Amino acid sequence: MAPSQQAKSSKSARGLLTGLAVAACLLASLPAAEAQAPAKRPPAAPQAAPQAAPQAVPGFWDPRRRPERPDLSRLTVIRFLTETDYPPFNFTGADGNPAGFNVDFARALCEEIKVTCTVQMRRFETLVDALTSNRGDAIIASMAVSPQLRARVDFTDPYYRVPARFVSRKDAVMPEIRPEYLEGKKVGVIAGSAHEAYLKAMFTDAELHAYPGDDAVRAALRRGEVDFIFGDAISLAFWINGTDSGDCCAFSGGPFVESRFFGEGIGIAVRKGNDVLRQALNWAMFRVWEKGRYTDLWLRYFSVSPF
């Protein structure tokens, strides 16, 4: 059930241009791990055996910036639009109805606002047109915020982000990764991706090996052709925990969330100027997170944390 694509800003560029802190932590407390210039005399990379870490969940909401309750009296129904096949975020359940993390989150928001909620599944590339032509009120489909989409729709605050992470074989896990630690190391990455661009900009002393896709780069790590691979942490988390990995590998170091390379985050899209709904959703998202329901929902769907 691992996602085969990254978070999407358009069908043709899903994940290549976009790319949550321990429970109750803020996004700001995540080890953003923005790369530093390599030292002239790099220190030895720390050696440590991999240890089980507590599951981490998103923390995008600052309790010091509690949103005021908006006027919800004009909201009677929210027609959510989502896509058809992007598990575990969106998929058709055994009963034939929409299911997944995004669907359950949408329903939690409607419960908080106390309005009727409907969820309609459509092909991803049709969602924005359906929203702008009033065939729905909000898109919750792992849609990455981008300047191009902001020209057509408005977005709520982000409700998750897609970090990038390094993966190594289990016998070579590093608790921390910095540019100087990977000097001369072979790093696999998908050719033409935002992850490759990030490595070229920040990890200039690593030896990059570009591959055509996920399967090829992961197979290279399993075979020992590269020391690390670097990519979409959500997809990699499912691979690590799935049968395809052969229990070979684990995350090394922490998440990288540089917005210049990996995007602004994943938001809920509403029609331009629909501030009533946008503010209501922002308020409801904060409330769902504050009550711990977001944490429960995340842990239900993600057995290995991308963060």
**Every domain of the chain and the residues it spans:** 73-160+264-301, 163-262
Which pTM does this prediction carry?
Answer: 0.73
Its CATH class, for the domain covering 163-262, is alpha beta
Which segments in the chain show pLDDT lower than 50? Answer: 1-54
pLDDT of residue 305: 74
pLDDT of residue 9: 40
Q: Do domains 73-160+264-301 and 163-262 have the same CATH topology?
A: yes
Q: What is the CATH number of domain 73-160+264-301?
A: 3.40.190.10
- The whole-angstrom distance between residue 50's C-alpha and the CA centroid of its chain comes to 24
pLDDT of residue 58: 57
